Amino acid sequence: MMSAQWKEAVLKRGKPKILWEGEPLLGSIYDEEEIEAAVGAIRESIDINAGFGFSSARIIEFEQAFAKYLGVKHCVAINSAGPGLDMAMRYLNLQPGDEVIVPAINFVAAPLAVVGAGGQIVWGEVDPDTLQLDPNDVEKRITHRTRAIFPVHMNGLSAPMDDLVELGKRYPHDQHGPLPVIGDAARACGGAYRGEKIGKKGLMTVFSFHTMKNMTTLGEGGMVATDDDDVAAFMRSTRFYGYDLDIWGSSFVMTKVQAAVGLVQLRKLDDFIAARRRLALRRHELLADVPELTLPIEPDDCVHSYYLYTCLICRKWAGEKRDKLIKMMFEEYGVKCLVANPPAYTVRKYLRDRTPGQRLPLSEELGARLFCVPIHPIMSDDDNERICASLLDCIERLRRE
Ligand SMILES: Cc1ncc(COP(=O)(O)O)c(C=O)c1O
């Protein structure tokens, strides 16, 4: 823990210079290079025989560059991760009653995709240390109706993919064989697991380039990554009205301008992640040994991308006192912490109504304890220190209440 003198000296410098949000509205950094790439792609597109669209060489170039970055065979560029998750669930051809196991500590997109494809959500508990879907818990929830395991690489860290894939092999479905593991890496672009980038393991992985994410393609965008030829063909066909395979489809295509910007962002992605990591490592030092706080951990086999810096407050401070801490941080220091995410069924009636009787005590407890302290690759070391000193100050004062 840093000394009281350190904290007082930092607090004297004043509030952080920027209004920091738990999940800043622009997650990456843009400069002239992205603007030039976008303008260049627009110029190319204003030829009536070129246009912006889906068959452009830029999109193929972006897909190939992303596939190379991940070390996978295929990447399929799409307009947003949500449709990618929907397509992933549609690929399973779920029948009424078929079950998909998703972590309860989750954004709503993956569970909604299960329902949208006609499946039954089965909520899984997470490992409280990593907030990732817990394979031991998944094992207890597998039935003869289970069709897939659907982890989210929560807040920038990898899910334990090898363990989940192994489980899928150990409990094959009667008709469909090993349970596929499908990853939602919307928040984890650029992270790594066992020496490979997140996106290499499992049947397929869906990425988001939404404006808040680690890299972004003009606010919306996504990618499906896979080593499986069948999955890739299904995704290419479904993202454009089911052409080629003559199946159901719609339009989930990315534009040429987005792909041109994506190529630039991808080249910078590792630097963005390195900046996030540097801030996180310093923060681990500054906030170490505060009895009320558990800091995010990085297992030895993972490289955390720190999309979010997720802390847990002690059990005694769960709920109201955690919320008070968040309020103090904002009102007194202008730092907006975020609760990402409580169990998805607690925030969405639609999901709650479709999972009657499924309540997960551990995830609910974690949902009342977690909060994310802002982090972003442009954050200065000075602001990082000011944020940490503010947090220490708020905790010390709350301790006396
Ligand atoms: C975990 C997770 N999954 C899926 C999505 C959906 O991504 P998109 O906005 O690209 O559709 C998001 C975020 O927006 C997310 O955080």
Q: How many Cβ atoms from other residues are within 10 Å of residue 51's Cβ?
A: 14
CATH C-level class of 32-264: alpha beta
Asked whether the predicted pLDDT for residue 1 surpasses 80, the reply is: no
What is the distance in A from the centroid of ligand 1 to the CA of 303? 20
At position 348, the amino acid (one-letter code) is: R
Place of tokens 């469909």: 176
What is the distance in A from the centroid of ligand 1 to the CA of 349? 19
Give pTM, 2 decimals: 0.98
> pLDDT tens digit string along 222-269?
999 999 999 999 999 999 999 999 999 999 999 999 999 999 999 999
Nearest-CA residue for ligand 1 atom 7 is 81
Q: Distance (Å, rounded) from C-alpha 102 to C-alpha 125?
A: 9
| Residue 74 backbone phi and psi in degrees, to 5 | -130, 145
Nearest-CA residue for ligand 1 atom 3 is 186
What is the distance in A from the centroid of ligand 1 to the CA of 218? 15
Place of tokens 């009342």: 368
Q: Quick check: CB of 109 below 6 Å from ligand 1? A: yes
DSSP 8-class letter at 198: T
The pLDDT score that the predictor gives to residue 157 is 98
Ligand 1 mutation pick, 87, 131, 187, max ligand atoms within 8 A of CB: 187
Q: Which two tokens stand for residue 331?
A: 């009102």
> For the chain, which residues make up each domain, given as ranges?
4-25+269-399, 32-264
Q: Quick check: CB of 81 below 6 Å from ligand 1? A: yes
Classify the phi-psi angles of 147: left when phi > 0, otherwise alpha if psi is within -120 to 50, otherwise beta: alpha
Q: How many Cβ atoms from other residues are within 10 Å of residue 271's Cβ?
A: 12
Helical spans, DSSP H, in 287-370: 320-333, 344-347, 349-353, 361-367
Q: Which two tokens stand for residue 385?
A: 């220190």
| Residue 192 backbone phi and psi in degrees, to 5 | -140, 160
Q: Distance (Å, rounded) from C-alpha 280 to C-alpha 286?
A: 10
Mean predicted confidence (pLDDT) in 42-48: 93
> pLDDT tens digit string along 263-305?
999 999 999 999 999 999 999 999 999 999 999 999 999 999 9
Q: How many helices (H) and strands (E) does the chain have?
A: 14, 15
The pLDDT score that the predictor gives to residue 233 is 98
Nearest-CA residue for ligand 1 atom 12 is 186
* Topology match between the domains 4-25+269-399 and 32-264: no
Q: What is the band of 54 on the pLDDT scale with cuts at 50, 70, 90?
A: confident
SS3 of residue 23 by DSSP: coil
Q: Which of 60, 93, 63 is nearest to 225 (CA)?
A: 63
Q: Quick check: CB of 210 below 6 Å from ligand 1? A: yes
> pLDDT tens digit string along 68-95?
999 999 999 999 999 999 999 999 999 9
Atom of ligand 1 nearest to the CA of 83: 11
DSSP H or E segment with residue 370: strand 370-373
Q: Which of 304, 362, 308 is nearest to 337 (CA)?
A: 308
Atom of ligand 1 nearest to the CA of 85: 4
Ligand 1 mutation pick, 107, 150, 218, 339, max ligand atoms within 8 A of CB: 107
Q: How many CA atoms lie within 13 A of 398 on its CB side?
A: 25
The pLDDT score that the predictor gives to residue 70 is 98
Q: Quick check: CB of 111 below 6 Å from ligand 1? A: no
pLDDT over 90 percentage in the chain: 97
> pLDDT tens digit string along 2-32?
889 999 999 999 999 999 999 999 999 999 9
Atom of ligand 1 nearest to the CA of 80: 10
Rg (CA), the chain: 22
Nearest-CA residue for ligand 1 atom 14 is 210
| Residue 94 backbone phi and psi in degrees, to 5 | -65, 140
Fold of 4-25+269-399: Aspartate Aminotransferase, domain 1 (3.90.1150)
Atom of ligand 1 nearest to the CA of 107: 1
Ligand 1 mutation pick, 80, 131, 198, 210, max ligand atoms within 8 A of CB: 210
